[in-house]
Chain A
């Protein structure tokens, strides 16, 4: 099961990198959303995919010999999802503000922080 998942992760990465290469912020945003999902799937797959019972102890207490699913990757993914979600929300607001303030979503035209022409200092003292 890990091999098809690996290909799926590869497709996710390819899509997100393609979107990241765009000049338009909105596409980069979509790329960022897909990128975080790709990473989550990757972590999920590296925890090994098994069809086991949930790792919750039965009412009788700890019992030897029960094989359970690995809960740690899911905890990691949950953390990563929360972080990626808040990141995405922030980036969404930031991009919207950038579009309003700068009047463009083309990164080539966003040159307010680094103007193309700068006054040269005096060459002699």
Chain B
């Protein structure tokens, strides 16, 4: 897939998709969206970049190994559930804090942390599989 048009467009397309995936992730806080679908969008962005420019640029761009990203997400998810031990409520209970953010009020929660964890698990797992498949195709 080394056509000139695709190779030129792919980096811009991928970065837009990653940006969009973050938007979908944060939108999932109160509306349709969320970590899983956001993670899938980001993983497909990396897959597209890999198809256009080869696998090693993607690995360089991701910096961390995909499985390590996955693990970080898993850790985030478990910690998000564990935080409720300090509030004396069962595991995985949603806890909310309101933080003033300039003129607005920002509502942060363990649910959000868990969702970000899911995002990273999905990005890591799916892109590591996708990259493994693409890598073999080149050989």
Contact = CB atoms under 8 A, between A and B. Distances in A.
Contacts of B125: 86
13 contacts: A82-B36, A86-B125, A89-B126, A89-B129, A90-B129, A92-B129, A92-B133, A93-B129, A93-B132, A93-B133, A96-B133, A96-B136, A100-B136
Contacts of B126: 89
Which secondary structure dominates chain A's binding surface?
helix
Contacts of B129: 89-90, 92-93
A63 to B, nearest CB: 20
Given A89-B126, A93-B132, A100-B136, 10 more contacts: A82-B36, A86-B125, A89-B129, A90-B129, A92-B129, A92-B133, A93-B129, A93-B133, A96-B133, A96-B136
Interface string B23-42: 00000000000001000000
Interface residues of B, number: 7
Contacts of A82: 36
Nearest to B40: A85
Interface string B103-139: 0000000000000000000000110010011001000
Interface string A70-108: 000000000000100010011011001000100000000
